[in-house]
Chains A and B, each alone.
Chain A
Amino acid sequence: AQSVTQLDSQVPVFEEAPVELRCNYSSSVSVYLFWYVQYPNQGLQLLLKYLSGSTLVKGINGFEAEFNKSQTSFHLRKPSVHISDTAEYFCAVTLFTNAGKSTFGDGTTLTVKP
C-alpha cells in the first residue's frame, strides 16, 4: 500500500518570502502525484500534477513542484508568496493501477503574514 507524509503541519512565512512545502511518499509501484489547495470553507482544487515526463511541473498561482524518484519526494515551492496563498495544502498519490483512488497526506497549513 502507498502512503504520503507531509513533513510540516504548519508553515508560517512572511509575504514575498519563498516557501517550500515538503511531501514524501512510499510505494512499491509507479505513482501519479498531485498537490491540492483548500481555501477556508471550500473544497480542494488542483494546484499541479505529475503524471510522467519532466520532473519539474508548474501549476497555478506560481507554484511548482519537483518529482524526485530516488528520494520519493514531491516538494511544492513558490518563490514569493502572497497573503492570498494562505490555505491548507494536500499532497496526494495515486497508483497507476488503482482506478483513481488517491491517498492524501495530512495537510500543511500555510499562513502568510504581512
Chain B
Amino acid sequence: DVKVTQSSRYLVKRTGEKVFLECVQDMDHENMFWYRQDPGLGLRLIYFSYDVKMKEKGDIPEGYSVSREKKERFSLILESASTNQTSMYLCASSSPRGWRNTEAFFGQGTRLTVV
C-alpha cells in the first residue's frame, strides 16, 4: 500500500516563527502536492512538485515556499507564520503513468494553529 506520512498531526506555533511541515512517500511517486483545507473552501493547492528540485505554484502560494531535495520528501515552509495560516495541511502524491494520471494518495494531515 502507498503510504504518505506527514511528520506531525498537530502543531502549535507562534506568529512570526518559521515553520516546517514534512511529508514523505514510499512509492517512488513523481508528483507531490501540498494542499490547505479550510471549512467550506475545499482543498486549495499551495504548491506542486513533479520532480526533484522542480516546483510549481498552486492557487495560493503567498506566504509559503517548498523544498524537494529527494524524490520521496516534500517540505512546506511557512517563512513567517501568521494567524491566517491556521489550517489543516494535507500532503499528497501521485504518479503519471504514460498517458494516464493516477489518483492522489494523501497523508493524514497536519492541523496547524498559529497563535
Contact = CB atoms under 8 A, between A and B. Distances in A.
6 contacts: A41-B108, A43-B4, A46-B103, A99-B50, A100-B102, A100-B104
A101 B33 contact: yes
Interface of B: 4, 31, 33, 35, 40-43, 45, 48, 50, 58, 90, 92, 94-96, 99-109
Given A46-B103, A49-B103, A94-B101, A99 B31 contact: yes
B31 A100 contact: yes
A96 B42 contact: no
B45 A106 contact: no
Contacts of B50: 99-100
A48 to B, nearest CB: 9
Contacts of A61: none
Interface string A18-58: 00000000000000101010000111111001010000000
B43 A43 contact: no
Contacts of A98: 101
Interface residues of A, number: 25
Contact of A106 (B41, B95, B105): B41
Contact of A100 (B42, B43, B94, B106): B94
A24 to B, nearest CB: 14
In the A-B complex, the 5 residue pairs with the closest CB atoms: A43-B106, A106-B42, A104-B43, A100-B101, A44-B106
Nearest to A49: B103
A90 B43 contact: yes
Given A90-B42, A96-B99, A101 B48 contact: yes
